[in-house]
Structure 1
Amino acid sequence: MKAAKKHVRLIYLLVPLLLLSMLHSQHNLLADPVKPEDADQQQMLQKSLSIVEIDHEIERISRQQDETQTEIDKLQVQLEEKQEQIKIRQERAGAVIRSYYMGERDNLFAILFSAQNLSNLLEIYSYYELIMDQDKTVLDAYQSQYKSIKDTQQRMESSYAKLTEIKDNLVKQRERVVALQKELDTSIAGSSDPEAMKKLIKEFTSYWDNVGMYEVKRYFSALASAMDDLPEFIQNKKGAIRTNGTTYSIKIQEDDLNDFLKSKNELFNNFAFHFSDNKVVAAGESGNLSLQVEGHYSIENQPENSILFHVDKLVFNGLELPDTTCRQLENEFDLGFYPEQIVSFVKATEVTSTDKILRVTLKLSMK
């Protein structure tokens, strides 16, 4: 009898533990990245990921729209204030101009020659100089105020153009989300188990928002930090810089760049760059996470001569992210480098990537 009671008590203890272990197992599943099982599932997860990211882009654009509208409102107030101020300046400047036009200042100048002696001449001249200085002050103040109004108007026109572009972009992104959501809803409805598919999508998007984007940004941040030291690495690498008259060339070997990155951050122990025909691919894996970045370098001259990296494609755990995410990361993290930090008084004119080699051509530039 006692043994039976012990068994019952044991069952009472084990059942809650079993339930807890089941819940814990489910929690782990939600925390782990979801990998698609087939092409249809991959398409649905990719669309869901695009919807999440474009939604984020819409939020960013909306904030930008509000900020730009606030800036326009402030400029409008400034413009009205300046227009009031310039009315007074305009009247004073007009009076000065009229005095010159009517010859009143010529009469003042003539009085100088009517002085009877040196003392009288100096006294008249001091008055004349005082009037001339006052005229100059009035005209300069008017000119300065007028220029200020013109500058404010130009800033407002620029802000209005920016706001129009933002609104157009917002409409386009919203249309993209609606179209993608419609496609996704149709795909889910046509799947063998719509409820399970919805749960999978929710699980994956939750993982992306809480873990995925953080990890992607961690790699981009590490790359941007390493690129700050790339000029020093190139300078110290024997044979990396060659010169032929006024032309310089930089050659970066794929293996050398990867060794450099590993020396900067252990994240790059399982992450590597590959150079091919005008394309740069950076890819790696860490546990259940995989990341692939495809892009290219270009020469830019504004605001300064630079070799910038453009993200053409971003693949997370086998799923391609939308172009909005590529642009966001490209704007947030600078993965480029600047020629004058490597060789003084030069300007990059060409950048190419071939099999395992990145080449940069530079010309002497006397600014």
Structure 2
Amino acid sequence: MKGILRQKRLLVLIVPILLLSLLHPQRTLLADPGIPEDAEQQQLLQKGLSIVEIDHEIERIASRQGKTQKEIDELQIQLEEKEKQIESRQERAGAVVRAYYMGERDNLLAMFLSAQSIGELLEIYDFYDMIMDQDKTVLDAYRSQYAGIQETKRRLEDSYRQLEQIKNNLIRQKERVLALQKELDGDLADSSDPEAMKKMISEFTAYWENIGIYEVKRYFSALASAMNDLPEFIQSKKGAIRTNGTTYTIEVQEKDLNEFLVSKNELFKNFAFRFRDGKVVAEGKSGTLTLQVEGHYSIENEPENSILFHVDKLVFNGLELPDTTCRQLESEFDLGFYPQQIVSFVKATEVSSTDQVLHVTLKLSM
């Protein structure tokens, strides 16, 4: 009897665990391929990884192409509806304009001037005022709908231009990936063990897609979050902001920035920024995963004055990712900062990096 009870208790404990494991299947764990051993492996793996990433860019472009085409179709329908609506408005507006052109409104003015009494004058004035209001309403409605048509046409033309750029970009990326694939096929054929190399490329790209890209995005997400608090940090740092008349200068020390990042997220204990002549380098290591980011800051004034970070180079486990990955990470994560959050009445005019220091020059924006 006791044995049966124990079995029932075990079932009560085990069944929910089994159900949970079915509801939340674990992702297959992939072995970390580590850093390529030699230059030949590195070159082949880098080409394989670039093909995968450019293929993803092709998918993103194709998705944008579909969305833009849908927008064009919707705008075309809107334009046709607006053009139908304006036909009746155009006829009524034309009648009003003809009335003024033919002098019909002058007759009303003559009646107004020939009134024989105050009462008659007021009646004619009310009638005249009513006609003028009606004319204005007709003309204003026509102008509004006409302006609506012109705006829809402009948006349609912009969308067509965007679609053309997207199509051209898609063609370029497809040509690029085909050329890269041809190179890789040739390199594999010339290698001492093509099958082993194919397997290595497959394992590495699988590791990148399942683990690597998520780790890279984790760092970028943490950086973007920390940058939101950078203005407050600069304000609190003694000597970071100096003034000289209408010019403000901000200097961010490499050491201070790294301490700030660690204070925001322990992820940066093994990750550090370095400022060099015109360049910003960030690199770190987590287990056998290594990441290096090279970039630069630039001043942008649209849509607002800002100091934006541009990713020039991204190296994962010794392999350089293509520019498409850099641009995608730039668009997904904002690593810049906004000077007017530090001093509201200034705008950044210059940014540069020298040995261990980032310099920002600001001018009064009044």
Same fold by TM-score greater than 0.5: yes
Q: Does 1:294 align with 2:294?
A: yes
Instruction: Report the equivalent of 1:316.
Output: 316
Within-5 A mapping of 1:336-351: 336-351=336-351
SS of residue paired to 1:31: coil
Within-5 A mapping of 1:34-113: 34-113=34-113
Within-5 A mapping of 1:240-255: 240-255=240-255
What's the CA shift string for 1:176-221, capped at 9, x where partnerless? 1101111111111111111111111110010000000000000000
Instruction: Report the equivalent of 1:154.
Output: 154
Aligned partners of 1:33 and 1:289 also within 8 Å: no
Q: Find the aligned partners of 1:41 and 1:29 in 2 and give their Cα distance.
A: 23
Instruction: Report the equivalent of 1:176.
Output: 176
Q: Find the aligned partners of 1:157 and 1:33 in 2 and give their Cα distance.
A: 49
Q: Find the aligned partners of 1:28 and 1:145 in 2 and give their Cα distance.
A: 59
TM-score by length of 1: 0.91
Residue 30 of structure 1 deviates from its aligned partner by 3.8
**Identity of matched residues, %:** 75
TM-score by length of 2: 0.92
Aligned partners of 2:243 and 2:249 also within 8 Å: yes
SS of residue paired to 2:315: strand
Q: Find the aligned partners of 1:343 and 1:115 in 2 and give their Cα distance.
A: 68
Could you tell me which amino acid in structure 2 is paired with residue 118 of structure 1? I
Q: Find the aligned partners of 1:33 and 1:275 in 2 and give their Cα distance.
A: 31
Instruction: Report the equivalent of 2:139.
Output: 139
Residue 109 of structure 1 deviates from its aligned partner by 1.1
Instruction: Report the equivalent of 1:192.
Output: 192
Could you tell me which amino acid in structure 1 is paired with residue 281 of structure 2? V
Residue 103 of structure 1 deviates from its aligned partner by 0.4
Could you tell me which amino acid in structure 1 is paired with residue 193 of structure 2? D
- From the superposition, tell whether residues 114 and 28 of structure 1 become closer, same or farther in structure 2 (CA, over 3 Å): closer
Within-5 A mapping of 1:202-217: 202-217=202-217
Residue 29 of structure 1 deviates from its aligned partner by 8.9
User: What are structure 1's unaligned runs of at least 5 residues?
Assistant: 1-26
Number of equivalent positions: 340
Aligned partners of 1:254 and 1:273 also within 8 Å: yes
Q: Find the aligned partners of 1:121 and 1:136 in 2 and give their Cα distance.
A: 22
Q: Find the aligned partners of 1:29 and 1:166 in 2 and give their Cα distance.
A: 37
Instruction: Report the equivalent of 2:359.
Output: 359
- From the superposition, tell whether residues 30 and 199 of structure 1 become closer, same or farther in structure 2 (CA, over 3 Å): farther
Instruction: Report the equivalent of 1:24.
Output: none
Q: Find the aligned partners of 2:153 and 2:220 in 1 and give their Cα distance.
A: 39
User: What are structure 2's unaligned runs of at least 5 residues?
Assistant: 1-26
